[in-house]
Structure 1
């Protein structure tokens, strides 16, 4: 089995005298798996996501993503690795308001050196699939929350990343928009995209994930295996 994520003996301390914010834990995520990470505030969910994304480095242990030990990369190497291998969807979209929807989506592709023509073609393909083609020339501020999150998902997928990270992707949305994004994540998983979803919403985790882990005080308190998650 091919694993996209391998965490071995990983711990993160922000205070050398205090308890770790996370771990130590071991965790593997297989290619094509959708893993939901749940737990109360302060349980280590965001720390785990940041370590996987290479936004933070572990105090102990190793973090390997898509075959690359990310905790050993330089800042430049990490930035390039994230652009090429990891797509991130945030709770509050993080779109650039002075760029059109199309330009927001294709920007990460251009940053990796993809020609503007090829980036635009890939962006158009994703916008069609995600039902936002009609907004291609609009600016994010003119869209609903659900539409902006679809733009954010398209942007995260434009470089065909090995891993999609979603941090509370429905947390800032109304019920209807949240349902739309949930169905989108379900479709992406069915299509083979590897996903790690951090959420407080147990219904979202149940709908989207093939496996769920629950963190408490930085430790793995409960794991729901794939066959019991549906």
Structure 2
């Protein structure tokens, strides 16, 4: 039996004196799955993403990604975890406007020690496969929102991560661009990429994932095939 890509066991996280952001959450995601984490603001879904990325640690419980106990990593180990195992896509792209598209995409590989020629080849392949190679020498500020999100996806895939995390990836896009990015995530998953999409958008969950986990008040309240989501699930 293959090792799960993600395994959380009895994970809880509380900030200061507020209510727990996560309460005894257990979750398993298989390699190659596309899973949406659905919930309103404050439900705990962003905390879950931060724990998977090693940006935060649980108060109790264990977080394992690609066979590695992320909750046991120190600051350097967590940074290497994000560099080598996890690709991240954000709502507002987080691209560097003073760099070209190609240089934005190359950056993670260069930080990981990849040679310039090899990194350039990898970036060119990604930009071509994502249909934005014609923008390689353009600065991100000249691109549409959908194009910038494609650049962000290319950057996230640069180091061939085992896990792709997408945090509200269509939240800053219009409907057409959002559907474009949703289709891109579905295509990546069809090619074998494990994807976790954190969102409050029911339509996004249905369109690019096969399974949806709903979180409310820090607890998992529903874990169903995305095609079975009822409209009230989005509330």
Fold agreement, TM-score > 0.5: yes
Matches within 5 A, 1:80-159: 80-159=80-159
Deviation at 1:80, TM superposition (A): 1.1
Q: Could you give the per-residue CA deviations for residues 118-146 of structure 1, whole angstroms, max 9, x where no partner exists?
A: 01100000000000000000000010000
Residues 55-75 of structure 1: CA distance to partner in whole angstroms, max 9, x if unpaired?
A: 000000010111110111110
Change beyond 3 A, Cα 1:41–1:99: same
**Residues 61-76 of structure 1 mapped to structure 2, 5 A cutoff:** 61-76=61-76
CA separation in 1, counterparts of 2:105 and 2:18? 42
Unaligned runs of 5+ in 2: 230-235
Q: CA deviation at 1:227?
A: 7.9
TM-score scaled to structure 1, two decimals?
0.96
Q: Does the residue aligned with 2:64 lie in a helix, a strand or coil?
A: strand
Higher alpha-carbon deviation: 17-26 or 60-69: 17-26
CA contact (8 A) 2:25 2:219 kept: yes
- Aligned equivalents of 1:56, 1:211: Cα separation in 2: 25
Partner of 1:12: 13
Instruction: Give the Å deviation of 1:107.
Output: 0.6
Secondary structure of 1:164's partner? Answer: strand
Which 4+ stretches in 1 moved above 3 angstroms?
A: 225-229
Q: Spell out the pairing of 1:210-225 with structure 2 (5 A cutoff).
A: 210-225=210-225
Q: Is the 8 A contact 2:189 2:195 kept in 1?
A: yes
Match of 2:169 in 1: 169
Determine the structure 2 residue equivalent to 1:187. Answer: 187
Shift of 1:226: 6.8
State the 1:198 CA deviation.
0.6
State the alpha-carbon separation in 1 of the partners of residues 83 and 76 from structure 2.
Answer: 11
How far 1:20 sits from its partner (Å)?
1.1
Shifted more, 25-34 versus 219-228: the winner is: 219-228
Secondary structure of 2:87's aligned partner: strand
Give the Cα–Cα distance (whole angstroms) in 1 for the partners of residues 59 and 34 of structure 2.
Answer: 26
Cα distance in structure 1, aligned partners of 2:26 and 2:75: 24
Structure 2 CA distance, aligned partners of 1:188 and 1:112? 23
Query: TM-score with structure 2 length normalisation?
Result: 0.94
1:133 and 1:9 mapped to 2: Cα distance?
44
Shifted more, 2-11 versus 160-169: the winner is 2-11
Unmatched 5+ stretches in structure 1 = none
Aligned length: 228
- Distance (Å, rounded) in 2 between the aligned partners of 1:142 and 1:120: 21
| Structure 1 residue 49, shift from structure 2 partner | 0.4
Question: 2:8 touches 2:63 (CA, 8 Å); kept in 1?
Answer: yes
